[in-house]
Amino acid sequence: MGSAELANLAEALAANELIRGRFADRFEAQIAGYVGSRFGVGTNSGTAAIHTALMITGVEPGDEVLITTLTFIAPANAIAYCGARPVFVDVAAHNWQMDAEAARRFCEDECRFDGERLINRTTGRPVTAIVLVHFLGMPADVEAFQALAERYNLILIEDAAQALGTRFGPRMVGGFGRVGCYSFYGNKLITAGGGGMLVTNEPALAERARYLINQAKDDPVETLHRAIGYNYRMTNIHGAIGCAQFDRIDHHVARKRRIAERYREALSDQPGITLPEEPADQFWTFWLTCIRIDPDLFGLEARQLLRHLGEQGVETLPLYQPLHLSEAHAGAGRVGGGVAESLHAQVLTLPSSISLDEGDQDRVIDLVVAAGRRARADRGARAALTP
C-alpha cells in the first residue's frame, strides 16, 4: 500500500461514495481492458465471481463440473454452492495444470455424448462445465480445453485468480472462456483489500451477473425480486484501492518475474531441485515461485526443508492438499490424482512477495543451498560409517 491508495481512499470517503462509485466503475473498466474483455463486473471476492460465473452460464444442481484437483479450494466450493458436483482431474506433470489429456479420456471413455449433453456413465449425471484454473501464475492448457468444451458442449469458465497478467500465446488468461474470474485478495498480484471480478464478452452474461450480485432487484423503487440474488457486489472502497494498485501492475509483474529469475539462476542447478520452465510462447507472472524437491538427490524431503527454513524465520509453504483427498469434497468424482499427490509431497513455494528485497532473497537461497549440502554431506558420512 502506498500514497496513491491513501489518496484514492480519502477521495472516496470525502465524496461519501462507499458502496457504489467512480473507483469501482473505473476498476472494472481497467481490468476488463487489461485482459482484453468487453465487460468487467466487480464482486466482493474471487469466490463470489466464480459462483456468479457458474450461475449465469447455467450450471445447475446435480451437474458435474471438471476442475483440477490441485488448486485452492475456493473454485471447488463455488461449484458446490450451485448444488453441482466437482470432478477432480489430475494435473499434467509438465505444467502442474489440469491434465487436458486425462480430461479428454474421461469425456470419451467414461461418458456418453448424445450430441447435446455429456452424461457420466457411472453416475448418470450430466457433465456441463469446466472450471479451468490457471495455477500459480502459469497458464493452463487453454486451447486443449477450448477444443474439449466445443466438442462436448461444455461451458468453459476460467479461474485466473492466481494468474492476472499471465499470457497464453499473445492473449491474457481469463479472456478465453465464456467468463473469466479474478481475485484481489491481499496475497494476489494486485489487491483491492479483498474483492474479485468476472469478465466476459457477452452483454447478457454481464447484465445477469450485475443483477444477481445486487440482490436481484427488479424495480428501482419497490423491493421486488423475481430471483434469489446475492450481496456480492464490489464496493467503491475496494475500487479505490484497486485503481491505485492497477497503476502499478506492470511493476508488480516485473518484480515477480525478477524474483523468479533470481531463484532460477541460483537454484536450478542444485541437485534435486527443479523449477517450472516458462515456454517461449507463454508469459508467466510467477505469482509464487516454487521448487520441486527430489529428496533422494537433494538430501531432504520438502517438508523437512520447510521446517528447517521455518526455524530460520523463512516462511515457505507446501502446495494445497489435492482436492480429491479433501474431506470437504468427500464423494466427489475424480480422474487420477497421482501426479498432484507427488507434487503435494515435493513442492514448496518460496517467499515471492513483491516487497522481498534482494538481500532477503539471497538469504533464502543461501539457506536452501546450505541445507541440501549439509544433508547430503551427513548422508555421505553416515554411509561411510556403515559397515
Ligand X SMILES: Cc1ncc(COP(=O)(O)O)c(C=O)c1O
Smallest CA-to-CA distance from 168 within 248, 272, 281 is with 281
Q: CB neighbours of 259 closer than 8 A, spacing ≥ 6?
A: 286, 289, 352, 354, 356, 361
The residue among 113 and 320 lying less far from ligand X, judged by its C-beta, is 320
Task: Give 131's DSSP letter.
Answer: E
Q: Which window, 31-39, 43-51, 120-128, 260-268, contacts ligand X (CB under 6 A)? A: 43-51
47 binds ligand X (CB under 6 A): yes
Contact pattern from residue 120 through residue 159 relative to ligand X, giving x for each residue in contact according to CB under 6 A and a dash for the rest: -------------x-------------------------x
Interface residue with ligand X among 40, 196, 272, 372 (CB under 6 A) is 196
Query: What DSSP assignment string belongs to 151-216?
Result: HTT-EEEEE-TT-TT-EETTEETTSSSSEEEEE--TTSSS-SSS-EEEEES-HHHHHHHHHHHBTT
Shortest CB 241 distance to ligand X, Å: 14
Q: How far is CA 291 from CA 27, 95, 127, 263, 379, in A?
A: 34, 13, 35, 9, 22
Binding residues with ligand X: total (CB under 6 A): 14
304-333 binders of ligand X (CB under 6 A): none
27 binds ligand X (CB under 6 A): no
Interface residue with ligand X among 71, 95, 128, 346 (CB under 6 A) is 71
Give dist(CA 213, CA 226) in Å, integer.
14
Shortest CB 288 distance to ligand X, Å: 10
Query: What DSSP assignment string belongs to 68-109?
Result: ESSS-SHHHHHHHHTT-EEEEEPBPTTTSSB-HHHHHHIIII
Name the residue number minimizing CB distance to ligand X: 46
Side-chain half-sphere CA neighbours of 43 within 13 A: 29
- Give bridge partners of residue 317 from the DSSP assignment: 349
39 binds ligand X (CB under 6 A): no
Interface residue with ligand X among 40, 42, 75, 137 (CB under 6 A) is 75
Shortest CB 35 distance to ligand X, Å: 16
The residue among 187 and 312 lying less far from ligand X, judged by its C-beta, is 187
46 binds ligand X (CB under 6 A): yes
Interface residue with ligand X among 23, 27, 72, 298 (CB under 6 A) is 72
Shortest CB 249 distance to ligand X, Å: 17
Q: In this structure, which amino acid lies at residue 333? A: G
CB of 233 closer than 8 Å to CB of 44? yes
Shortest CB 9 distance to ligand X, Å: 20
Interface residue with ligand X among 23, 185, 283, 286 (CB under 6 A) is 185
Interface residue with ligand X among 24, 161, 197, 288 (CB under 6 A) is 161
176 binds ligand X (CB under 6 A): no
Give dist(CA 152, CA 112) in Å, integer.
10
Q: In this structure, which amino acid lies at residue 271? A: P
Q: Which three cell numbers stand for residue 61?
A: 444442481
Shortest CB 320 distance to ligand X, Å: 9
Residue recorded with cell 453416475: 123
Q: Which window, 66-74, 169-177, 239-247, 359-367, contacts ligand X (CB under 6 A)? A: 66-74
Interface residue with ligand X among 162, 166, 289, 316 (CB under 6 A) is 162
Give dist(CA 31, CA 26) in Å, integer.
9
Q: Which three cell numbers stand for residue 343?
A: 507434487
Q: In this structure, which amino acid lies at residue 92? A: A
Sites of contact with ligand X (CB under 6 A)? 45-47, 71-72, 74-75, 133, 159, 161-162, 183, 185, 196
